[in-house]
Amino acid sequence: MVDIRESVGQWAAAISNTLVANFTREKLGQLLAGYVEQLLGGGVAEARQVGRSMVEHDFISAATLERSITYLGEHAEVTPAQLAALASGYAEGLRDRTLAQQEISRTAAINTMRRAESAVRASEAKFRAIFSSSAFGIVVSDLKGEIIDVNEALLAMLDHKHEDVRRMSGRDLVHPDDREALRQLTRQLIASEHDNVRVEKRMVRSDGETIQAHMAISVVREEDGTPPYLVTMVENVNEMRALQSQLLRQSLNDMHTGLPNRAQFLGWLEGAAGSKGPDTLALVQVDVDGFRGLNDAFGHDVGNRVLMHVAAHLREVFTEDVGRIARIGEDEFGVLIKDPRDTASVIALVDAFTARLEEPTWIGGHGVGVTTSVGVVVRAARGGDAVDLLRAADVTVAWAKRDGKAQWALYDKERDQRDRERYALAASIPGALEEGQFRVDYLPLRSLAQGSVLALEAKIVWDHPEQGVLCPEVFLGEATNNGMIVRLVRWALEEACAQVSSWHAELGPRTPVLTIDLPLRLCQEPELVAEVLRVLDRTGLPASLLRFELHEHVPTLLNEEQLDELTILTERGVGLVVDQVSGGNVRVTRLRVLPWSGVKFNSAVAHAFASDALRIEERAAVALLKWAAMLRLPLYADGVRTAAEAQRLAELGVTGAQGPHFGPALSVAETTELLLS
C-alpha cells in the first residue's frame, strides 16, 4: 500500500517552488492528499477531475504540472491512462478558465464599443487595447458574416494581413465543409434568447493548412436600435493538443537519460503479456552497483553522468530492432525483448553490454568504474502478468547482487519458490510467537573425561502447524535478514533463563551452564547489557550460569562501544564463548579484545579425526587444537559423531563436546529427567 502522507510530502516538495498562488503548508497538504486519494481510489474520470481541480486551485504553472506528472508517473501507483487523463483534464480546465476570462474580455470589449459610439475617444482606446492585446483571435462581424474588424492575434493565427481580411467574409476563414453548419448555428443563436454559444470548427490558414479551432460566438444587441453584430473569439486547439501531447511525453519519459520511464515500461509489459502479445519475451533488468556510493562520493551530477553512460551502452547493444529500453528506478534499467531467439542469445547480449562497461568512464578527471548486476527472465508471454514479471526480474537481480555483484543471473522458478517460502516463513514469526508455536529444546554439552553434563545449549524449535517441527537452521537465517532474529532470541533467552532457574532451585551448584547463540544483530543492540540484566533479574538465574556463544567472525564486525558492552557483561558474571572456530580466518589479536571463557570448534574439526578423513585434514585439526591450547581456555567441540572422534579430541585437550554421538537436543521434560535422574 502507498503511504499517503509520505506521497503528499514528496509531491509537495517537488512542486512547492513552482506554485503561483500562496498556500500554507497545511492547506497544500490537504489539497494534495485529496488528489492522491482520488487517483489511487479511482480511475480515468477521477484523474481528469484532479487535472481540472489543479487549475481551479491556481496550479497554473507549466512547471507545476510537469513535475506533478513526472512524480506521479515514477513514484505512485498511477496508470499511464490516468496520467493522460490528468493532463487532459488540466488542459480542459485551463481552456475553460481562459474562455471565462475571454468572456470578461468580450464584455469589456462590447461595453467599450458601446461607449465608443456615444462617449469620448479615450473609451475607444481602452477597447482597442483589450482588442489588440488579447492572446486569442477576435473577429467582429455583422449578421451576414461580413468582417468589421479582426485583431492581430487572429491575423497571426491564420497568417493573413489586414488588407486581405477586409476583402473577405467570415465564411472565407472557415473550412468549406464546416461553413453551412456554422451558418445554421449562427442563425439559431440570433433567433434565440441566448447571447453566446461555443463550438469547435476547422479554420483555414492563408497557406491552405487546416487548424482545429474552438470558437466562442457572442451576439451583441444594442439598446439604441443599432443592428446587432457578432463577436467571435477563436482559440487554436492544435496548440493546446500539442501541449497536452508534450506533457504526456514528459510524464512517460525520464528527463536525465531521455529513456521511457517505469510507467511507460509497465505499459509495454502489459501489452506484451496480453492475448495479442508475442509468444515469448525476455525481461532484462540492470542495476548499477554501488550507485548510492557514487552519489555520496562525487555528487549527484556525476551520478547522472553515470546513468547516461549506462543508458548509452544499453542503446548500443539493445538496439530498436532488438528490444525496448526504459529507466525503471533510481539506478535501474529495464529491457523488453519480444520473441527472443533463445535464452543463449539474450545472455550473449547481456555479456556484450557488461563488456562495454569494463573501461572506466572519465568524469572531471576521475576514472569512474561502473559495474552492474543483471537479472534475466525468459518466459512465455501470453497470459502473463506484468507486475509478476517485474517481481521476477527484481528477485533475479537480488540473486546476482547476493552472489557478489558485477554479474548476471538467470531466473529460476524453483529457486524463487523456495525463497518465497523462506520469506513467508520468516514473515510469520511474530504471529507464531503470539500463538506459542515456538519452544526451547536443550542440547547437552558432555564432559569428555567424566560424561557429565557441563552445559545446556538452548535451541529454538518451531512447532509449525503445517510443516511440522522445524529446526533452527531452517528459519534463523532468514529471520536474521528480516530483523526478526532480535525478537526471537529475546524470547528464547527469557524462556531458557526461567527454565534453567527452576532447575537451579533443585540442583544448586550441580546445575549446568545455559549457553545460547548471540547473533551479530543482538551484539549491536545499544541496550544489550540492560536487557540481559533485566532478564536475569526477572528469572532469578545467576549470571554465572549464563554463557553466550559468538561466531568467530562477530568480534571483527563490532565497534569499540559494542565490544565494551560485551565486556561489561563478563564483568557481571556472564560467560562468552567464541563459537564455530574452524581455522586461521580470524587473527588471535582480534580474539583477545574480549575476555573469553571458552573456545568451541565447529564440526569440521571433529570430523577430521574420522576413519575416512584425509591425513592433511587431521594434521590441520591437530595444529588448530594445539594453537587454541595456547589461549589457556576450556576447549569444546561440536558435531562429534563417534566414540573415536571423542577420544581423539579428549587426548588433544578438548574439555567437552556435543553432537550425534552424545544424543539429540532434548525437550524440557526430557532434560529434566536427565538432570534429576
pLDDT level of residue 62 (50, 70, 90 thresholds): confident
Whether 392 contacts 285, CB under 8 Å = no
Please write the tens of the pLDDT for every residue from 44-61: 888 888 888 888 888 877
- CA–CA gap between residue 92 and residue 100 (Å, rounded): 12
**172 lies in the same domain as 284:** no
Domain closes at, from 365, 386, 411: 411
* CA 351 to the chain's CA centroid: 27
**456 lies in the same domain as 552:** yes
Pairing of strands 546-551, 575-581: parallel
Pairing of strands 546-551, 513-517: parallel
The pLDDT, as a whole number, for residue 102 is 74
Whether 284 contacts 323, CB under 8 Å = yes
- CA–CA gap between residue 53 and residue 658 (Å, rounded): 72
The three three-digit cell numbers of residue 596, written as one number: 573469553
Q: What percent of the chain has pLDDT over 70?
A: 90
**82 lies in the same domain as 138:** no
Give 347's contacts (C-beta < 8 A, 6+ positions apart).
376, 408, 410
The pLDDT, as a whole number, for residue 584 is 56
Pairing of strands 656-657, 635-637: parallel
User: Minimal CA–CA distance to 113: which of 6, 5, 218, 1?
Assistant: 218
Question: At 147, which CATH number?
Answer: 3.30.450.20
pLDDT level of residue 509 (50, 70, 90 thresholds): very high
User: Minimal CA–CA distance to 529: which of 577, 485, 570?
Assistant: 570
Asked whether residue 41 is domain-assigned, the answer is yes
Asked whether residue 217 is domain-assigned, the answer is yes
Whether the pLDDT of residue 122 is over 60: the answer is no
Q: Cell 491575423 maps to which residue?
A: 155
Asked whether residue 120 is domain-assigned, the answer is no
Identity at 284, one-letter amino acid code: V
Whether 329 contacts 292, CB under 8 Å = no
For the entire predicted model, the pTM comes to: 0.58
**189 lies in the same domain as 264:** no
Identity at 520, one-letter amino acid code: L
Please write the tens of the pLDDT for every residue from 372-404: 999 999 988 777 788 888 899 999 999 999 888
Whether the pLDDT of residue 1 is over 50: the answer is no
**398 lies in the same domain as 455:** no
More confident residue, 194 or 130: 194
The pLDDT, as a whole number, for residue 573 is 95
**b/e per residue, 551-578, with b = 16+ CB within 10 A?**
bbebbeebeeebeebbeebbeeebbbbb
Whether 261 contacts 253, CB under 8 Å = yes
The pLDDT, as a whole number, for residue 216 is 86
**654 lies in the same domain as 508:** yes
Asked whether residue 109 is domain-assigned, the answer is no
Asked whether residue 417 is domain-assigned, the answer is no
Ramachandran quadrant class, 617 (left: phi over 0; alpha: psi -120 to 50; beta: rest): alpha
**333 lies in the same domain as 272:** yes
**261 lies in the same domain as 230:** no
The pLDDT, as a whole number, for residue 457 is 97
pLDDT level of residue 294 (50, 70, 90 thresholds): confident
The pLDDT, as a whole number, for residue 667 is 95
User: Minimal CA–CA distance to 386: which of 659, 610, 79?
Assistant: 79
Asked whether residue 125 is domain-assigned, the answer is no
Question: At 343, which CATH number?
Answer: 3.30.70.270
User: Minimal CA–CA distance to 601: which of 642, 561, 633, 643?
Assistant: 633
Supply the mean pLDDT for the chain: 85
User: 653: number of CA atoms within 13 Å, CB side?
Assistant: 19
Please write the tens of the pLDDT for every residue from 610-664: 988 899 999 999 998 988 888 889 999 999 999 999 999 999 999 999 999 999 9
Please write the tens of the pLDDT for every residue from 535-550: 999 999 999 999 999 9
- CA–CA gap between residue 618 and residue 670 (Å, rounded): 35
pLDDT level of residue 217 (50, 70, 90 thresholds): confident
Whether the pLDDT of residue 157 is over 70: the answer is yes
**377 lies in the same domain as 447:** no
The pLDDT, as a whole number, for residue 521 is 92
Q: What percent of the chain has pLDDT over 90?
A: 38
- CA–CA gap between residue 638 and residue 615 (Å, rounded): 20
Whether the pLDDT of residue 497 is over 50: the answer is yes
Domain closes at, from 184, 213, 241: 241
Please write the tens of the pLDDT for every residue from 230-267: 888 888 877 666 666 566 565 567 877 888 888 888 88
The pLDDT, as a whole number, for residue 66 is 80
What one-character-per-residue DSSP string does 517-586 give?
E--HHHHT-TTHHHHHHHHHHHHT--GGGEEEEEETTGGGG--HHHHHHHHHHHHTT-EEEEEEE-STTS
Whether the pLDDT of residue 121 is over 60: the answer is no
* CA 497 to the chain's CA centroid: 42
Expressed as residue numbers, the domain containing 407 is 256-411
Please write the tens of the pLDDT for every residue from 535-591: 999 999 999 999 999 998 898 889 999 999 999 999 999 999 999 887 655 555 666
Identity at 213, one-letter amino acid code: A
Domain closes at, from 81, 103, 125: 103
**296 lies in the same domain as 344:** yes
The pLDDT, as a whole number, for residue 120 is 43
**375 lies in the same domain as 483:** no
Whether the pLDDT of residue 125 is over 70: the answer is no
The pLDDT, as a whole number, for residue 443 is 96
Asked whether residue 543 is domain-assigned, the answer is yes
The pLDDT, as a whole number, for residue 119 is 47
Whether 339 contacts 372, CB under 8 Å = no
Identity at 143, one-letter amino acid code: L
Report CA torsion sign: 556, 560, 561, 567: positive
Asked which of 197-206, 212-221, 236-245, 623-632 is least confident by mean pLDDT, the reply is 236-245
- CA–CA gap between residue 671 and residue 503 (Å, rounded): 10
SS (H, E, C) 418-461: HHHHHHHHHHCHHHHHHCCCEEEEEEEEEECCCCCEEEEEEEEE
Total tally of structural domains belonging to the chain: 4
Asked whether residue 80 is domain-assigned, the answer is yes
The three three-digit cell numbers of residue 130, written as one number: 483589450
More confident residue, 363 or 270: 270
Question: At 459, which CATH number?
Answer: 3.20.20.450
Q: What is the CA radius of gyration of the chain?
A: 39
- Long-range contacts formed by 264-268: CB under 8 A, 24+ apart: 264/80, 264/326, 265/324, 265/326, 265/328, 265/334, 265/336, 266/79, 266/80, 266/386, 266/390, 267/80, 268/324, 268/326, 268/336
pLDDT level of residue 182 (50, 70, 90 thresholds): confident
The pLDDT, as a whole number, for residue 569 is 95
**532 lies in the same domain as 596:** yes
- CA–CA gap between residue 340 and residue 280 (Å, rounded): 7
More confident residue, 497 or 112: 497
